[in-house]
Amino acid sequence: MHETLLVLHVTAGTVGLLLGPVWLVARLRGHRGRPAATGYQTAVALVAATGGVLALVSPGLAWLLPVAVLSEGLAVTGALARRRAWRRWPALQPRLLGGSYIALTTGVLVAETGSPVAWVLPALLGQLPIAVAKRRLAVAAA
């Protein structure tokens, strides 16, 4: 069962990493990007679910359970911010969805390198595209 969960976890993470930019490009071109958005949200949900189970059944990894919950929370809340037209959604959505994508990227880098830098680098590098998206949405909303 552990191997099956791990394969599903890695596959869903890969799909999420591929669909994130597809969704972004669709939005930049003025499309809703519904298939990519649905695929991304599903992939992140699967990563969070399988990651949570793997964290619970793997000795010493239970501390990763909040990371799984937070990642899913960022993705869902980011999608809802715009759909429900929350106050200040143009500032919130890029942070939330960007945070979910940064979480996926961090997971890959930490798993592959084990380096402590992998915990920080994606968050630092992700700030520029998040800032650009926030500015773009603020201008469009004005």
pLDDT in tens, 105-128: 999 999 999 898 999 999 999 999
Specify the number of domains making up the chain.
Answer: 1
The DSSP H or E segment spanning 132 is: helix 117-141
Rounded Cα gap, residues 136 and 6, in angstroms: 37
Question: How do residues 15-69 score in pLDDT, each as one tens digit?
Answer: 999 999 999 889 888 898 899 999 999 999 999 999 999 999 999 889 889 999 9
**pTM assigned to the model:** 0.91
User: Domain containing 86: what range?
Assistant: 2-141
- Residue 109 phi/psi, 5° resolution? -65, -40
- The model's confidence at residue 131, banded by pLDDT at 50, 70 and 90, is very high
C-alpha pair distances (Å), 59 with each of 7, 13, 26:
19, 22, 41
- The model's confidence at residue 89, banded by pLDDT at 50, 70 and 90, is confident
